[in-house]
């Protein structure tokens, strides 16, 4: 058992002072120090800086590790330019990012306070790295392929990768399923994968309505995607409309990533089926996809959480930085309430949509904790200051064990 007495507890936005936390693998008690010492007389006492804060570990539900070697290889500014640069440099990107490269990306996330992440894996090259990561991992095996003639082969490959991830035996690691997108996965593949996910109670994720090009292709079979599909896949039509894609997910709540281009009808369907949106503002900006309308999400009752996407469309795997960018992106929102919402969506709300028992400082929750040196006594605007300044993370605990 350990006891820690920070100046401030932030859980995830409520500020408490003068309280101590007793924890082992889980948070066992929160109260006055003398009460906890009486209850747990053998507990180890953790020293903290003068102006310390304890908050929940951050949860990044959407990251691609396999292209983590990118820094200046890919083109930014528009989704199609970026996509063509991915195809042009694919072998180089894959070849330049070995397990050491991907492990470095995991370590970067940990350094930035991310104690849980969702790894979206296209090829399973990141499986061993994710299995050995210090964080908790939801490993999303991705289904991709829009050609009906290849459906059986692609499904067999997907199942082989899924079964390999399910064979990983370590606490905090779980296999999951990702459907790449409406334009890139044949409905027959989607149905089979979702049936398997429902039967085995696996978490599911998908990219949806990310770019203007995707929206136009799904709605009209025209636009910037038309020459792409004609050239590379000999396809004249999208394999799904946006409506048909969402209908495939009826009864299976799913994390829908990006959703920048969705209309009210699509958002209402997302809310009705209990899906959640993963908001990745830096990726959206770098790929020229625009900014998601948070008011539209709220109006239609859509829940949303925060993610970083991967280093193919971001410059860092840092949720605090991602939230800071969101703070400046959504200028129509009051600053402090938005900062609080962002922090909740990077902790407790992400835990809820992933089905995890973490994300807040509360009795019974798994002890995934960050100890941060605030350098000064915090004010009521602590959530804003935390996003603006980052501050130094002194200690990181996952299931009560300190990790570095």
375 annotated active-site: no
Write the DSSP symbol of residue 66: T
- Residue 316, classified by CB atoms within 10 Å of its CB into exposed (0-12), middle (13-18) or buried (19+), is middle
Q: Parallel, antiparallel, or unpaired: how do β-strands 20-23 and 2-4 relate?
A: antiparallel
Within 13 Å of residue 95, how many CA atoms lie on the same side as its CB? 5
How far is the CA of 326 from the CAs of 93, 165, 333, 372, in angstroms? Answer: 28, 33, 10, 22
Q: Is 319 helix (H, G, I), strand (E, B) or coil?
A: helix
Torsion sign (Cα): 90, 96, 99, 102: negative
Assess contact for 61 and 307: CB atoms under 8 A: yes
- Residue 71, classified by CB atoms within 10 Å of its CB into exposed (0-12), middle (13-18) or buried (19+), is exposed
* Other C-beta atoms lying within 10 Å of the C-beta of residue 208: 28
Q: Is 374 helix (H, G, I), strand (E, B) or coil?
A: coil
Distance CA 237, CA 187 (A): 13
Distance CA 330, CA 332 (A): 6
Distance CA 331, CA 278 (A): 19
Tokens of 17: 């002072």
Distance CA 162, CA 142 (A): 9
Assess contact for 357 and 365: CB atoms under 8 A: yes
Assess contact for 353 and 276: CB atoms under 8 A: yes
Give the active site residue among 210, 322, 360, 366. Answer: 210
Distance CA 13, CA 340 (A): 6
What is the set of active-site residues? 210
């Amino acid at each position: 058992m350990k006891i820690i007495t920070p100046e401030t507890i932030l859980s995830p936005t409520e500020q408490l002072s003068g309280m101590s936390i007793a924890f082992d693998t889980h948070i066992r008690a929160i109260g006055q120090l003398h009460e906890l010492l009486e209850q747990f007389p053998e507990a180890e006492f953790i020293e903290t800086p003068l102006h310390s804060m304890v908050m929940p570990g951050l949860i990044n539900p959407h990251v691609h590790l396999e292209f983590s070697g990118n820094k200046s290889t890919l083109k930014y500014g528009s989704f199609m330019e970026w996509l063509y640069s991915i195809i042009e440099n694919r072998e180089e990107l894959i070849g330049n990012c070995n397990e050491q490269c991907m492990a470095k990306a995991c370590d970067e996330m940990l350094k930035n306070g991310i104690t849980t992440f969702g790894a979206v894996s296209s090829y399973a090259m990141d499986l061993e790295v994710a299995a050995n990561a210090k964080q908790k991992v939801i490993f999303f095996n991705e289904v991709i392929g829009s050609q009906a003639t290849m459906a059986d082969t692609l499904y067999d490959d997907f199942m082989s990768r899924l079964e390999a991830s399910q064979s990983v035996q370590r606490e905090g690691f779980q296999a999951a399923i990702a459907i790449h997108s409406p334009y890139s996965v044949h409905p027959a593949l989607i149905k089979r994968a979702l049936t398997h996910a429902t039967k085995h109670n696996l978490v599911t994720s998908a990219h949806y309505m990310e770019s203007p090009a995707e929206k136009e292709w799904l709605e009209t079979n025209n636009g910037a995607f038309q020459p792409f599909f004609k050239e590379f896949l000999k396809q004249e039509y999208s394999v799904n409309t946006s409506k048909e894609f969402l209908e495939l997910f009826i009864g299976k709540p799913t994390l829908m990533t990006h959703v920048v281009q969705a209309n009210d009808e699509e958002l209402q369907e997302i809310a009705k089926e209990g899906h959640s949106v993963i908001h990745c503002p830096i990726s959206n900006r770098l790929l020229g996809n625009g900014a998601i309308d948070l008011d539209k999400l709220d109006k239609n009752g859509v829940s949303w959480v925060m993610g970083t996407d991967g280093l193919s469309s971001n410059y860092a795997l840092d949720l605090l930085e991602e939230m800071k960018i969101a703070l400046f992106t959504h200028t129509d929102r009051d600053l402090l309430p938005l900062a609080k919402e962002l922090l909740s969506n990077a902790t407790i709300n992400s835990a809820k949509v992933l089905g995890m028992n973490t994300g807040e400082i509360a009795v019974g929750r798994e002890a995934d904790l960050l100890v941060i040196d605030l350098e000064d006594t915090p004010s009521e605007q602590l959530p804003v200051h935390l996003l603006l300044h980052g501050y130094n993370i002194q200690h990181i605990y996952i299931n009560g064990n300190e990790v570095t």
